[in-house]
Amino acid sequence: MKALATSIALIILLVILISVLIPAFFILYNTPYHSNQGNIAAQAYQQEKKLELNNVLKGNPLIYYSSGTSPYVEIKVQTVQTPINITQIYYFNGTMWVPTLNTSINVGSSMIIPLPKAAFDKPIVIVTGLSNIFFLNPNTSVTTSVVSGPAGKVAVYVIALALNKTTNGYAMIPVNTSVQFGGILMNTPFILYVNPGTYNLVAKNPEIFLSQYGLTASFLNWSVTGYGTLSSPNSPSTSLTVSGPTIVTLLYNTSLKHYKVVIQFSLPNNTPLPIEGTTTDPKTGALLTNVNSSLTVYVDNKPYLINYTHPNITLELTSGYHSVQYPTTIYLMFNYTLRGTTIPYGEMIKYTLYNVKSSNSSAIIITNNNMFKVTGNGTVYITFQPSVYYYLVIVKNNFTLPSGVKLISNSSPILGDIAGQLLQANVTPPQGSGVPSQVLALGPIKDYTYEMLYLPSGNKISVTYFYLWEISGSYTLNLPPAKTFHSLISQPQYFIVNNATWSHTYSYNSQNIYSPPIYIYSPTVITVYEVWQWGGNPP
């Protein structure tokens, strides 16, 4: 009986030891065995841990987190390798990390690990027996941020999440923000290997702007899972005491209050930008009809279209910061109509950002041209002004044969608007434009396709050379009699300038003096006339 009592006592003692020791092996901490040869064992542990990490990051095994209504972790083992031991998988329920496994899993082959339905659309953390920690957002493969340290140190994993209330509960948004851990400043998520002890922990940004969601979030609290405690979990600045592997979660809470905000695009006189609309030319009063399509503007990364009839964007925005993206320079093209004649694409106007202001500086605070903070209802005015007016200049040629000469056959075009840059001109922008003068050769470079260029209002064109032209090929002309030439040389005749208010003919002269200069204040057409005067053949 005494021996039996002793056995029963031993069994009870064993049960007590197990009940005490098993919780000590916390889900995040699988302590490696240390023999008397501690250094050798520690080195081996670190090598195994690094090998496991490298294999996982290379996709062997491939770990994928599928976060549907029935979430699961899929593990695909590519080749034979040392099995991975998964000690725990956690999901974040909005306030804490919840364990999902009742026992560790030894992964020696491909498998599916089901997760609770409550893990749907929540981030998870996978912890291995070698203390590797893998953080996965919904529907992603393994990614991790690792900083290796000497043996004997403990892992502290720091992540940041923003809680955003939706109709289906809370959505968790991973956040990249600055956290000071002791004397180290890092961006979440990160892992540090540190000595057991107490460290300052500071959220450097108590308020953050999630531009991709158009949300502003404020510090909520810290939470800890594992061998760590916080002195002040509800303060952005606190102290963390760690004695073993620890997950620290920095939580932010998004603002839920909404305000009506109008974003208006206009000219300084409060009229809409003439996108898909009309305006008038300031020099001639011509009707300008815009040919552009609506302008795309992004508010919190969501696209909106604006034009002449819909110049405003009306939104319900949350309290906090919001972004608006748009070009600060806009070129609008117009059909130019004057006295019943329309020149397609005859004018182009450059509009530049004039200012960005608020209807109520206490309700909407303009941070910069692309960001504003909302604390109440109001309007954001984004104003553009016309800075440069450009007019279409067309240069074309008109080649003819001498009177009485007829074309019988030709190997390349010789009549009408054929390629040839026959004029050289000094092009001088208006004073104060900041644009340098330049020398241009004017004329089409492709047969039957006139040259088009846009020059700013007030631009001066001074022609300095009027060139003859030569082409080669096979050309049979009836002079009479009929004769074939292998080259033709033209004789410059004159060029005519026509625009909305002025017309002038410039005759060729050997001194190359062509006065007055051509001023551009409306769409302008320059037509150059030459005659094929000479023909030749090789000797």
Whether residue 14 is contained in a domain is answered as no
Task: Place 505 in a pLDDT band, splitting at 50, 70 and 90.
Answer: very high
Q: Are residues 52 and 100 in the same domain?
A: yes
Which helix (H) or strand (E) element contains residue 505? strand 503-507
Whether residue 25 is contained in a domain is answered as no
401-426 pLDDT, tens digit each = 999 999 999 999 999 999 999 999 99
Residue 313 is predicted with a pLDDT of 97
Domain boundary among 347, 368, 390: 390
Q: Are residues 218 and 304 in the same domain?
A: no
Dig out the tokens for 163 from the structure.
């809680």
DSSP string, 440-496: EEES-SBTTB-EEEEEETTEEEEEEEE---EEEEEEEEESSSEEEEEEEEEEEEEEE
What CATH number is attached to the domain comprising 189? 2.60.40
β-strands 215-230, 237-254: how paired? antiparallel
Dig out the tokens for 237 from the structure.
């600045």
Task: Place 377 in a pLDDT band, splitting at 50, 70 and 90.
Answer: very high
Please give the residue that has the higher pLDDT: either 219 or 249.
Answer: 219
465: number of Cβ within 10 Å: 13
Rounded to 5°, angle at Cα 393 from 390 and 394: 150
Please give the residue that has the higher pLDDT: either 304 or 18.
Answer: 304
Which helix (H) or strand (E) element contains residue 305? strand 302-306
Provide the residue range defining the domain that includes 299: 258-390
Domain boundary among 354, 371, 390: 390
Number of structural domains in the chain: 4
Stretch 527-536: mean pLDDT: 95
Stretch 496-514: mean pLDDT: 94
Q: Are residues 396 and 322 in the same domain?
A: no
Please give the residue that has the higher pLDDT: either 11 or 155.
Answer: 155
Question: For a pLDDT cut of 70, what percent of the chain falls above it?
Answer: 87
- pLDDT surpasses 70 at 136: yes
- pLDDT surpasses 70 at 514: yes
Whether residue 409 is contained in a domain is answered as yes
Residues in CB range of 102: below 8 A, 6 or more apart: none
- pLDDT surpasses 90 at 522: yes
Q: Are residues 288 and 409 in the same domain?
A: no
Task: Place 79 in a pLDDT band, splitting at 50, 70 and 90.
Answer: confident
φ, ψ of residue 22 to 5 degrees: the values are -60, -45
Q: Are residues 335 and 426 in the same domain?
A: no
- pLDDT surpasses 50 at 11: no
Stretch 329-345: mean pLDDT: 95
Whether residue 31 is contained in a domain is answered as no
DSSP assigned state of 185: E
Dig out the tokens for 110 from the structure.
């491909």
Q: Are residues 179 and 197 in the same domain?
A: yes
- pLDDT surpasses 90 at 158: no
Whether residue 190 is contained in a domain is answered as yes
Kindly report the pTM of this predicted structure.
0.67
Domain boundary among 390, 418, 434: 390
Task: Place 292 in a pLDDT band, splitting at 50, 70 and 90.
Answer: very high
Q: Are residues 267 and 385 in the same domain?
A: yes
In whole angstroms, how large is the CA radius of gyration of the chain?
39
Dig out the tokens for 512 from the structure.
């190359």
Q: Are residues 242 and 274 in the same domain?
A: no
Task: Place 80 in a pLDDT band, splitting at 50, 70 and 90.
Answer: low
Q: Give residue for tokens 């994928």.
A: 64
β-strands 258-266, 278-280: how paired? unpaired
Round to whole Å and give the CA distance between 26 and 353.
Answer: 60
- pLDDT surpasses 70 at 24: no
Q: Are residues 353 and 271 in the same domain?
A: yes
Cis peptide bond prior to 282, omega within 30° of 0: no
Residue 9 is predicted with a pLDDT of 39
239-285 pLDDT, tens digit each = 999 988 788 888 888 877 889 999 999 999 999 999 999 999 999 99
Q: What is the mean pLDDT of the chain?
A: 85
